Structure 1
Amino acid sequence: MMKRYLSVWFPDWPLDRLRRLRRQTKTGSASRPVKPRAFVLHEKSAHGLSVVAANASARAVGIEPGLRLTDAKATLPDLLSEEIDRAADLKALTGLAAWMVRFSPLVALDGEDGLMMETTGCDHLFGGEAALVAGMSRRLVQAGHGHRIAMAGTPGAAHALARGTGLGEPPVLPSGREAEGLAHLPMATLRLSPEALTLLRRFGLTRIGQLYEIDRKALTRRFRSRQAADAVCLRLDQALGRRAEPFAPLRPPPEHVECLPCPEPLTSTEGIGDGLQQLTERLCSALAVQGLGAQGFMFSAFRSDGAASAVTVNAARPVRTPDHVLRLFREKISRIDAGFGIDLLMLEASRTGPMAPGSRPLSGDLAGTGFDAEAVSGLADRITARLGEGSVILTVRDARHPPDKAERQVAYAGQVPEVEAAPILGPRPVRMLNRPEQVSVMAQVPDGPPLQFVWRRRLRKVVRADGPERIAPEWWTYLPPAPGERGRLPRTRDYYRIEDSDGRRYWVFREGLYGDDRGMDPEWFVQGLFA
């Protein structure tokens, strides 16, 4: 299948964005229309402030982009001006690109004032390419976007047609006829640098078709550098389809998608919820036919004013049960902004994977495993939908010697990881402190447990003790101190299980050995509490 590309150019994009931003609905008695005042946008350049955009009233008196702002105000003293906001223009254009996904999933930015779409295989959904272009143009006009559209077999040809043709019927150029369709267009539509355009103009080359018969070696000799000549040849070959041109959409195409046009604009949450339910049932049915499930779902609502809003949910494992997917969206559907009305709903599935056919497995207790992976995964999905990504955490064992470092936390991703860890040599307390708490030992016994100690400002007398369990230091994790700093060598730990006179049992350890020549005297810590 031959690829097809559609280019949309917004000639006055910065001005249109400002106009839409400041548009206000006027109520009350009607007033006579007032002719818009001349207005320009400017920005800093090498020669001071220069005009970069001018409305029709300014252009009518000869003020064009590229003119110095001082010269423009000399021509029209009451000229209104404002500094252009490139960041805001880019953000608005990116937002419009998200809305254009309703026509094709592959949308990319084309410069600072245009969009490029790959529409291969999409035209039949709208009744053909002519109907697709006409429908897109109609919706852009309704949203208040001045534009020009063209469709061709290459991005370069579509770009040139959109910017080189006049107003009227949007051109739809069949694939393979790029040379014929571009021959009469200005050279500036070929996406060349200003320096290259200036040099070509000096040679009398102003139309793309004039390059067809020029020998490539002769063209190279006319340029000061081979790189500049190669750039002209590259752009020409890309537009004519002789060389491939990379196309990088803003987001990858969805693996599975379902759309629901709305005969009447939706404004209520109930209507949005009903549409989501229909889309979910259709999408899950399509996934079931292929034996797949999905871990990511995106629900998008496209408004009639050219804006779009979307919410996403994720599952720990591939799923395709409509009720489960709808439960995940239940907490987020209120974030969809209906605005003045939604005319299209879309549900996408991503990160798809095979699901085993057959009946649901027995729960953990009946299966004899004690762990119901599917139930845990469903619970994790609901918690994540309510509290956000990363809210479900697992604590797993880690292959470390110190008990306070022998476990780590990982995000739940549908499976309980199997971690190889050193075997546990002795009983462990039911409660481990987040970090060992230092205690003051009142009576020490070398190479033995303390006779009494103070922990949390209370004296505790030891009546029973068991141990020690010796844990060697992790010498390979020791980092030498920086020059001028005093380092601390890792020390051996001796762990004891002790009981005080009140029957409370502790897991304590002594860090360091007497006479080990590794710093100060040994220190004592409480690591955990036994039942």
Structure 2
Amino acid sequence: MKRYLSLWFPDWPLTRLRRERLSRQTFSRSGAPAEPRRPFALTEAGPSGLRIAAANSLAEKAGVTAGLAFTDARARIPDLACEEIDRAADARALERLAHWMIRFSPLVAIDGTDALMLETTGCDHLHGGEKEMVAAIGALLEANAIPFQPGLASTPGAAKALSRAAPGTILPDGKEADGLVDIPVSALRLSGEATLLLRRFGLTRIGQLYGIDRKALARRFQSKSAADRVLHRLDQALGFRHEPLDPLRPTPAKSVRLACPDPIATSEAIQIGLEKLAAELCDDLTAFGQGARHFVLSAFRADGTNTAIDITTSQPVRTPRHILRLFSEKIDRIDPGFGIDLLLLEAHRTGLMQTSAAALSGDLAASNTDEVALSALADRITAKLGAGAVSIRRPVESHIPELAERREDFEGALAPSAPPNPKSGPRPLRLLQRPERVKVMAEVPDGPPLRFVWRRVIRRVVRADGPERINPEWWKHTAPPQNHSPEGASRQWLSPKLDKRADFDLIAEFRRSLNANEDSTPITHLPRARDYYRVEDEAGRRYWLYRDGLYEDGRGGAPDWFVQGLFA
């Protein structure tokens, strides 16, 4: 059975505000909750005006409690100090506390606005037992001035009920029914209307619901949904129904921790601790024949805060030296604050390691590429420059140059090379990120360029090779509107053959059909053919240019020229 620990923080908004002001060393005599001899309350705007959201003990003794109208609270305590509640700040502080609790359990979930739920299955042995674990958590929370009430059971519902009604109770496995007998029904997380109705029937304790027939209990409620809600919460508390947990982080495949008896505060000490953790974690991965692709190092400070750094590898690894080298790029980002008392190293995205004996020589190797060394290099670049810094290009079936490949993040293996196309001419090794427009002067309209202006520099062409006609992918473009199409037009916009006369005949036929239509408009949105040229200037630099469109093709104005690549 799984075990769950509920930590409820009574008056969490007041605790958060007090800790925040103490950390900033700003004490206000007019309205700070840190003042122990003055009633203080937090207010919140509601449909019927301001109401009390939380009040300290001095205000509660005078009858000011949560839910009371602010006017009534001022009538009872005229000099009541108050401040508007900040729900967003309370939620952020609770989330930070939840991340700090990962030092005790990898599965920590936020429970409402003032509680945490920890799945502690298998974690208690690290502290000598469940009682000792709860005591260790209590010692840290008390040292940081955070009031709390714990409850531990085999179901989240039972643990939550115990934290509110019987704090400190640790129920043995399978004893939820016995442990909840005398707990008030309000601890089942019911609505106020359902709790009030149960009390009217004399059902004030959870144990009184055990002996009542479930159908009879459902008939006592006018609303079937309200009755089902009561039975649903009861079944969850007793373990008859599963209650899922939504943790902040996924469960690590492997994790190791290092407790520091004396808090450490230097990068050298963190590095020494990381070396011990990496060696231990890699031994655990080796025992199962696995490696990991994502490692997270979390440092838990003594003041109740934590920080974390992580690394990602392209292939599963389990070599301490490689892991330490990647972490060395980020270890300076850890701020020790007033001291770190626990280091936690987690391994995520584990997988089987592909191990094989190294070739005796390069001639006997299956490939000219050392994939292990290549992946290690990519990992170091990624650790220094960030995710996505290393990428590869994968071929795509398309004869349009900029569509013939796509960019993907490097995942430890190179992309297969595209098979050569015997019908295409030489191609540059790399293309420009996007084609750049140039001004071209040609001897004849359809001839190669004599000179062109690119990036404000005139370049005279001494050699030219071409053209290489690349037609648009007509099968990817939809037909024009019906009122522009000739009757029965099922032909494509461009001939798949590299025949200029056939293209002109098809275009002329379509233009004649447009002229016969009174509602026709010029077609300028159709794709155009390209003529590519390989040219060389006076300085010996070689370029890959293309003319976008044909003269008098009926698809716009004069053709445009672009530079798309450079030859080495």
TM over 0.5: yes
Paired residue type of 1:383: I
Aligned equivalents of 1:207, 1:485: Cα separation in 2: 82
* CA drift at 1:458: 5.3
Partner SS, residue 115 of structure 1: strand
Please identify runs of 4+ aligned residues in structure 1 that moved more than 4 A. 24-27, 358-366, 419-422, 451-463, 479-487, 500-504
Partner SS, residue 23 of structure 1: helix
Structure-1 residue corresponding to 2:29? none
* CA drift at 1:420: 5.3
Tell me, yes or no, if the aligned pair for 2:393 and 2:405 is still in contact at 8 Å.
yes
Tell me, yes or no, if the aligned pair for 2:534 and 2:545 is still in contact at 8 Å.
yes
Structure 1 window deviating more from structure 2 (238-247 vs 445-454): it is 445-454
Aligned equivalents of 1:302, 1:333: Cα separation in 2: 14
Paired residue type of 1:371: T
Query: CA, structure 1 residues 172+477, in 2 after alignment: closer, same or farther (shift >3 Å)?
Result: same
Paired residue type of 2:555: R
Structure-1 residue corresponding to 2:425? 426
Structure 2 unaligned spans of 5+: 27-33, 484-520
* CA drift at 1:318: 0.8
Tell me, yes or no, if the aligned pair for 1:498 and 1:507 is still in contact at 8 Å.
yes
Structure-1 residue corresponding to 2:495? none
Structure-2 residue corresponding to 1:83? 84
Residue 530 (structure 2) pairs with residue 493 (structure 1): yes
Aligned equivalents of 1:172, 1:34: Cα separation in 2: 35
Structure-2 residue corresponding to 1:244? 242
Query: CA, structure 1 residues 51+515, in 2 after alignment: closer, same or farther (shift >3 Å)?
Result: same
Tell me, yes or no, if the aligned pair for 1:400 and 1:421 is still in contact at 8 Å.
no
Aligned equivalents of 2:127, 2:432: Cα separation in 1: 64
Structure-2 residue corresponding to 1:113? 114
Paired residue type of 2:407: Q
Structure-1 residue corresponding to 2:98? 97
Tell me, yes or no, if the aligned pair for 1:331 and 1:386 is still in contact at 8 Å.
yes
Aligned equivalents of 2:196, 2:522: Cα separation in 1: 64
Query: CA, structure 1 residues 59+461, in 2 after alignment: closer, same or farther (shift >3 Å)?
Result: closer
Query: CA, structure 1 residues 454+177, in 2 after alignment: closer, same or farther (shift >3 Å)?
Result: closer
Query: CA, structure 1 residues 275+427, in 2 after alignment: closer, same or farther (shift >3 Å)?
Result: same
Structure-2 residue corresponding to 1:231? 229
Question: Which residue of 364, 372, 375 corresponds with 1:374?
Answer: 372
Aligned equivalents of 1:362, 1:403: Cα separation in 2: 41
Aligned equivalents of 2:354, 2:190: Cα separation in 1: 54
Query: CA, structure 1 residues 70+515, in 2 after alignment: closer, same or farther (shift >3 Å)?
Result: same
Structure 1 window deviating more from structure 2 (335-344 vs 296-305): it is 335-344
Structure-1 residue corresponding to 2:493? none
Structure-1 residue corresponding to 2:435? 436
Structure 1 unaligned spans of 5+: 28-32
1:61-72 equivalent positions in 2, closer than 5 A: 61-72=62-73
Tell me, yes or no, if the aligned pair for 1:365 and 1:371 is still in contact at 8 Å.
no
Aligned equivalents of 2:39, 2:18: Cα separation in 1: 13
Structure-2 residue corresponding to 1:221? 219
1:256-271 equivalent positions in 2, closer than 5 A: 256-271=254-269
Structure-1 residue corresponding to 2:413? 415
Query: CA, structure 1 residues 333+486, in 2 after alignment: closer, same or farther (shift >3 Å)?
Result: farther
Aligned equivalents of 2:468, 2:434: Cα separation in 1: 19
* CA drift at 1:477: 4.1
Structure-1 residue corresponding to 2:488? none
Aligned equivalents of 1:472, 1:496: Cα separation in 2: 15
Tell me, yes or no, if the aligned pair for 2:533 and 2:545 is still in contact at 8 Å.
yes
Residue 160 (structure 2) pairs with residue 159 (structure 1): yes
Tell me, yes or no, if the aligned pair for 2:392 and 2:415 is still in contact at 8 Å.
no
Paired residue type of 1:281: A
Tell me, yes or no, if the aligned pair for 1:364 and 1:373 is still in contact at 8 Å.
no
Q: Residue deviations 1:64-95, cap 9 Å, x none?
A: 11101111111111111111111111111111
Tell me, yes or no, if the aligned pair for 1:437 and 1:527 is still in contact at 8 Å.
yes
Residue 564 (structure 2) pairs with residue 527 (structure 1): yes
Partner SS, residue 145 of structure 2: coil
Tell me, yes or no, if the aligned pair for 1:363 and 1:371 is still in contact at 8 Å.
no
Partner SS, residue 62 of structure 1: coil
Aligned equivalents of 1:297, 1:352: Cα separation in 2: 10
Paired residue type of 1:525: F
Tell me, yes or no, if the aligned pair for 1:364 and 1:372 is still in contact at 8 Å.
no
Structure-2 residue corresponding to 1:509? 546
Structure 1 window deviating more from structure 2 (77-86 vs 446-455): it is 446-455
What is the count of residue pairs matched by the alignment?
522
1:30-49 equivalent positions in 2, closer than 5 A: 35-49=36-50
Q: Cα RMSD over matched residues?
A: 2.7
* CA drift at 1:372: 2.4
When normalised by structure 1's length, the TM-score is 0.91
* CA drift at 1:438: 3.2
Structure-2 residue corresponding to 1:184? 182
When normalised by structure 2's length, the TM-score is 0.85
Paired residue type of 1:18: L
Identity of aligned residues (%): 57
Query: CA, structure 1 residues 180+463, in 2 after alignment: closer, same or farther (shift >3 Å)?
Result: closer
Q: Residue deviations 1:328-370, cap 9 Å, x none?
A: 1112112222222221111000111111335456797984744
Tell me, yes or no, if the aligned pair for 2:523 and 2:556 is still in contact at 8 Å.
no
